[in-house]
Structure 1
Amino acid sequence: MQMHRRHFLDPYPLPLQQHPLYGRALSAMGRSVGEAWLGPDAASPLGHAQWVERRLGPLRLHWLARGPIWLQDAPKDAPSQYRRDAVVKLMSGFSPLTLWLIAPDQPDDLPLSGAYRLTQPGSEHILPLSSDGDAMLAAMQGKWRNRMRRAARDTLPVHHRALDPLRDKPLLDLEISQRRQRGYRALPTVFTLAWARAAPGATRLFLAGDPSNPLAYMLFLRHGSMASYHLGWSSPAGRHACAHNLLLWTAMTHYSATQVTHLNLGPSTPVNQGRDHFKTGAGAQIRRIEPTYLLTRGPSTLLPLAFRRDPV
């Protein structure tokens, strides 16, 4: 199971943070990553959890984001108490000096009687894919679809391929400059490069215009039967040409033909409603992100220590 865990999990629409490639990329960055299969039968587990570990003096902090995940071949009607007990059992295998930060994928997966909520719930945009291109077009808002068709009608060339960590570093630098200008945060470039080196085939770079000097690009990471928009950039000419509309449509048609069922277009951004409108215009649906909770088996006096450092 351990040797083939990536392939075992690939049929499932896993959150990015729960896919083995996420753990491999963080490990390549020098982070300590742990995992566990959940359930009484190791050959047919009920679920899986992956977390990032950090030491805080004598304490250990485990950051479990968007998990555990419960496999689709597990009983759909498995009682919530069973899943909560599985989390308690997971925690009990570690020292009482281990603090857990858990942002569950499902709202009823934690023993909340012993949990401290640290954040408010959020939301993200999930775009369903279909082998029926007409159905995906019909789910779009009219203005969004017209912009995409205009870019296609203007014969804006689009190319896509795997990300090359050396060749594409200048493109990543363009996004870093854009990030600073617009004041948003994203995973560091070292993570992007570590993912690309761990699994080049799980990256897809969509370029608009001349491939050697593109007007815009979008980069996606595939994790199981889901792919996530990771980062992108556009020049003023690319925005004028509605390049990102055509790039996203190209990504939708590419991934729908390769057994990907959903695209994660990222979290909602109240400070940038234009970006949210772009996602919903493409047909994305809004899904809740559960809050992050602090759980510990040790004394409550340890709790303030969890707030001193970012766990990841």
Structure 2
Amino acid sequence: MTPAPIPLQQHPNFAAALTLLGRPPLTLANGHLMLTRPFPGGLRLNLLSRAALSAPEALPDLLGPHRAPLILSPEHPAPGLARLGAVPLMTPATLAEIPLADPGTMRAALHPKWRNRLKQAESLNLRVTIQPMPPDPMHWLLAAEDAQRRARRYRGWPRMLTVGFVAANPSQARLFTAHRNGAPLAAMLFLRHGEAATYHIGHTTGDGRAASAHTLLMWQAMLWHAARGCRSLDLGLIDTDRAAGLARFKLGAGAVPRTLGGTWGWWPRLGPLLAPLARLDATMAGQEHPLPASSLS
């Protein structure tokens, strides 16, 4: 079986961005990247995100001397963490991934409503440009993203981390922009990491929404990345309760929902003492099921 593409948070491109910014991650014995954050008084907190923990029982050996409290967000369900004394902090989230293939196969996988919006956008003869994202902290898309976060009250990467990724990985960040009469209507930024790419940020104007410009840009990104060896597009998490419209957009593009491994807290020094409580918490928390395709209306 072909190994799954490496998630962005575990890829050397991400490590290169952090290193450029003076915050290099720790590399564990199996190659996983772990972030560490110091606090006053000599305390530290480690973060292991999107790691494929096929054998959670091996985690103590992988950490070696790095025994600070750890927040884990595994790539796949990892109930074995409870046996180590890890405590579930959040139930598993659902990720949306588009399997990339030939144009005919991908177009057939589009939801009918999504395909109709794509046809509408294609009929408008919008000009689409595909360019490397410049490492400019004052780029209009970054400014628009910051304003959108403040208005909608959500969080994301710091602006300088995006700039750092672009600067550390030339040509691995692609900006797709839809124009009409020389003016940008919408834009989407994708970050490449090996055989996969991640949708990072995007922005659209009122005219862009009316023209379904983001639908056109997503389709162009699917075609462009598939033609250059990408196997999948990571569209991030979906939430059908608080962001139903965005979830429909991602699923309508042919994305397949997949359940991640939840978020766990673990302090290696206290693991044996907390193991019974952790197993009880894991049993009570249960596991969320992936979102069915029928959730797209």
| Shared fold per TM-score greater than 0.5 | yes
Specify which of 82, 86, 89 is matched with residue 58 of structure 2: 86
Instruction: Give yes or no for contact 1:157–1:209 (8 Å, CA) kept in 2.
Output: yes
Compared with structure 1, are the counterparts of its residues 168 and 219 closer, same or farther at alpha carbon in structure 2 (3 Å cutoff)? farther
Bigger drift between 211-220 and 132-141 goes to 211-220
SS at match of 1:217: strand
Is the CA contact 2:77–2:259 (under 8 Å) kept in the aligned structure 1?
no
2:149 paired with 1:165 = no
- Counterpart in the other structure of 1:193: 163
Shift of 1:210: 5.0
Report whether the alignment pairs 1:49 with 2:32: yes
Q: Report SS of the residue matched to 1:215.
A: strand
How far did residue 206 of structure 1 move? Answer: 0.0
Give the Å deviation of 1:99.
1.7
Tell me which of 233, 244, 249 is aligned to 1:263: 233
Q: Which structure has the higher relative contact order (CA within 8 Å, separation 6+)?
A: 2
1:216 aligns with 2:186: yes
User: What corresponds to 1:145 in structure 2?
Assistant: 115
* Offset at residue 298 of structure 1 (A): 1.7
Question: Post-superposition shift, 1:17?
Answer: 0.6
Q: Counterparts of 2:134 and 2:196 in 1: how far apart (Å)?
A: 21
Deviations 1:232-288 (A, max 9, x none): 000000001110010001000000011101101111133121111011111111111
Structure 2 counterpart SS, 1:134: helix
Which letter does structure 2 place at the counterpart of 1:185? R
TM-score, with structure 2 as normaliser: 0.83
Indicate the SS of the match to 1:30.
coil
Q: How many residues align?
A: 268
- Aligned mates of 2:244, 2:165 — CA distance in 1: 29
CA distance in 2, matches of 1:124, 1:299: 31
Question: Secondary structure at 2:157's aligned position in 1?
Answer: coil
CA distance in 2 between partners of 1:246 and 1:229 (Å): 14
The SS at the match of 1:178 is helix
- Structure 2: segments with no counterpart, 5+ residues: 275-297
Tell me, yes or no, if the aligned pair for 2:32 and 2:51 is still in contact at 8 Å: yes
C-alpha distance after superposition, 1:42-85 (max 9, x if no partner): xxxxxx3111012233333210001046xxxxxxxxxx5xx234
Q: 1:185 to 1:58 in 2, by over 3 A?
A: closer
Give 1:126 deviation, angstroms.
0.6
Deviations 1:152-207 (A, max 9, x none): 11111101011012396122112222222222222121111000000121101000
Shift of 1:32: 4.1
* Matching of residue 60 in structure 1 with residue 44 in structure 2: yes
Which residue is equivalent to 1:23? 15
Structure 1 gaps of 5+ residues are 1-10, 39-47, 70-79, 304-312
2:245 maps to which of 274, 291, 303? 274
